[in-house]
Structure 1
Amino acid sequence: MSIIEEQEVPPEVPHIQRIEVNQLQCLRVQTARAELLIAEQGAQVLRYQVFGQEPLIWMSEEAAFEAGNSVRGGIPVCWPWFGDLMRNPPEVQALHSGGRLPAHGLVRGIDWLLMENAIEGDTVRLVLSIPPVHESPSLRHLPPGLALRLEILLDDRLHLKLTTRNDSEQHVALSQALHSYFAVSSIHNVTVDGLEGCRYIETLEGWAEREQKRPLVISSETDRIYLDLPPQLAIRDDGWNRRIFLESSGSTSAVVWNPWASKARRLSQFADDAWQRMLCIETANVMEDLVELEPGAEHSMGVTLWSEPLGN
């Protein structure tokens, strides 16, 4: 069982409160419609659930919620590179000349700063930012003046917008992702719509480039980078009679990932059978969809998430 306390009764008015989940300081947002939980470490969404419905975001039952370690599940922020740095384009590799090179970048395990929080009617808005890069030991190898913030807006949907601003004196190239883990009734019950006709890189078979011919059915370990995507994708889940929608902006690439049975047994904070209950579709800027910023420029990548019953 998760150590996150669940809220069963919606509040009468929206509110924001700070709570502790094991070693992590978190922000709990509750409205009359939904609940949102965000860890200040990594600005990581841990839960998004509409009251009376199944969770939209998946969180591992074995998640540790430890300081300095990314939590398995939710929506981790991957920045300023995605995956293995050495698999990124040369322009992205060139930015990082020293220090640690963990998978998925440098910001998942550091504490972000809460810059803004506001409640207007039934809408809640939060803005979190990484600390100045020259003040953070984890970020000191990045150009001074490079800044990152995440805006989170909760109304009848969940809106995330990740913005990088380059106030350094040099050109910057980066890759990034909102590494969203979605909750599903069973991986055997789902298909992904919107990928048809798109190119993808099959990372499990020599990084070969292929084309998606039909809606995607997950039937084995999956780790694909999709390119030239339309703005909207959807996960059809017949078991829970719903369709999860992802509407992106500032992004034409995404990563689709499920570890399946064999790899699941090797993952940390991950039950042996958890692969059956989750599917990652990671809104991204990766490969040729990388972000390039001249001094003074900024880029925003966003995704809006919601679900609807099948048949709507």
Structure 2
Amino acid sequence: MTITTLRHSSGSSCKIHSFGATVISFATDREHLFLSNDAILDGSKAIRGGIPLVFPVFGPSTAPSTMPQHGFARVNHWDLIESTETTASYTLRLADVTAGRGEHNPWSIEEVAKNGIDVLLKYEVSLGADYLLTTLTVQNTGKTAFDMEALLHSYFAVPEKATHDNSRTFITGLDRYSIVDKVTQESGHAQPEGEPVVISGETDRVYDPFEGKTSAQVQLVTPQRNLDITAEGSNAISCVVWNPGKEKAKAMPDMHDGAHEEFVCVEPGILTDRMIRLEPGDEAFLKQTIKAIVNK
């Protein structure tokens, strides 16, 4: 396992762990990503924090598949193929996927051998004075089409333990997006125009675009700084907002005590209609730009 550090002449920095090609730090004058104090960094499980990569499924697999939650991209070692002071590029080939395939699904070893499925994942990270750009590209290099979802599971740090302070921490830019609430099991309603998204206890919602938009502009407002989060992709861009709340966080062995007050996940992804089909030779991409605006 290796950690690659990028440094900009302005003083900003970024760190990428080779396990899952997980960005574990992005800092300007302060850190903007959350990493649990109890995160496991030895490659035995997905890293709790930073920007884990979700592919080829979001959330739990559908039975009878035994693929683990969020797929295999975040639980395998990625190869660093190029780096400079401010950029890094990683690849993951299906042949190198040793964990997380599960059984009874198209990505299992048996099914891949039978159907000729193959994929090449590329991940590029670029650091600027006040921004971080991450781009995931999925190439179907096999002989058979496959269904996929992809998501950047971004954990953003919230200063002053203010995640659940709705007057100081909130999200804008999701007006009119339809909502699937996984906590209340409600769906079929939309985010009211002009009303920010807030975190109240356990929060797990998928916001789907109202017109199949292939871009999204979201702002996370916190006490000390705001983050402009811009995402675009080859397909409609949804956005997941997640925080486990106090009780669920306590049950997570890699989440330190009180961590639920210190972060919120704002996660752009290709999730609309819960799968897209990628034909042989085709590509899909998902790009995110995080720009830090420090409050004076």
With the length of structure 1 as denominator, give the TM-score of the two structures: 0.81
Offset, 1:136:
3.5
- Report what 2:266 is aligned to: 281
Offset, 1:30:
1.9
- Report what 1:136 is aligned to: 97
- Report what 2:200 is aligned to: 219
Offset, 1:231:
1.8
SS of the aligned residue for 1:201 comes to: strand
- Report what 2:6 is aligned to: 29
Offset, 1:26:
1.0
SS of the aligned residue for 1:108 comes to: helix
Percent identity (aligned)? 25
Runs of 4+ aligned structure 1 residues displaced above 6 Å come to none
SS of the aligned residue for 1:223 comes to: strand
- Report what 1:259 is aligned to: 244
Kindly indicate whether the alpha-carbon contact (under 8 Å) linking 1:78 and 1:178 is maintained by their aligned counterparts in 2.
yes
Gaps of 5+ in 1: 1-23, 87-92
Alpha-carbon displacement from aligned partner over 1:143-200 (angstroms, at most 9, x marks no partner): 5431111011112311000000002111111011110000012111301000122111
Kindly indicate whether the alpha-carbon contact (under 8 Å) linking 1:253 and 1:289 is maintained by their aligned counterparts in 2.
no
1:244 has 2:194 as partner: no
Aligned equivalents of 2:220 and 2:37: distance in 1?
Answer: 22
Aligned equivalents of 1:160 and 1:293: distance in 2?
Answer: 21
Aligned equivalents of 1:282 and 1:152: distance in 2?
Answer: 17
Aligned equivalents of 1:196 and 1:287: distance in 2?
Answer: 16
1:38 has 2:16 as partner: yes
Pairing 1:10-21 to 2, within 5 Å after superposition: none
Alpha-carbon displacement from aligned partner over 1:25-54 (angstroms, at most 9, x marks no partner): 21112222211111101000000101xx22
Alpha-carbon displacement from aligned partner over 1:57-104 (angstroms, at most 9, x marks no partner): 111111121223111110000111111122xxxxxx8xxx86x41001
Kindly indicate whether the alpha-carbon contact (under 8 Å) linking 1:195 and 1:212 is maintained by their aligned counterparts in 2.
yes
Aligned equivalents of 2:264 and 2:8: distance in 1?
Answer: 26
1:154 has 2:139 as partner: no
Aligned equivalents of 1:290 and 1:246: distance in 2?
Answer: 23
Aligned equivalents of 1:289 and 1:307: distance in 2?
Answer: 31
Q: CA RMSD in A?
A: 1.9
SS of the aligned residue for 2:256 comes to: coil
Selected match of 1:177 from 136, 146, 151: 151
Pairing 1:5-154 to 2, within 5 Å after superposition: 24-32=1-9, 33-50=11-28, 53-86=29-62, 100-119=66-85, 124-130=86-92, 132-138=93-99, 139=101, 140=109, 142=112, 143-154=116-127
Kindly indicate whether the alpha-carbon contact (under 8 Å) linking 1:202 and 1:210 is maintained by their aligned counterparts in 2.
no
Aligned equivalents of 1:108 and 1:126: distance in 2?
Answer: 17
Q: Report how many aligned residue pairs link the two structures.
A: 269
Kindly indicate whether the alpha-carbon contact (under 8 Å) linking 2:6 and 2:84 is maintained by their aligned counterparts in 1.
no
Aligned equivalents of 2:180 and 2:277: distance in 1?
Answer: 21
- Report what 2:105 is aligned to: none
Kindly indicate whether the alpha-carbon contact (under 8 Å) linking 1:179 and 1:281 is maintained by their aligned counterparts in 2.
yes
Kindly indicate whether the alpha-carbon contact (under 8 Å) linking 2:72 and 2:97 is maintained by their aligned counterparts in 1.
no
Aligned equivalents of 2:156 and 2:288: distance in 1?
Answer: 13
With the length of structure 2 as denominator, give the TM-score of the two structures: 0.85
Kindly indicate whether the alpha-carbon contact (under 8 Å) linking 1:134 and 1:144 is maintained by their aligned counterparts in 2.
no
- Amino acid paired to 2:206: I
1:298 has 2:275 as partner: no
1:208 has 2:187 as partner: yes
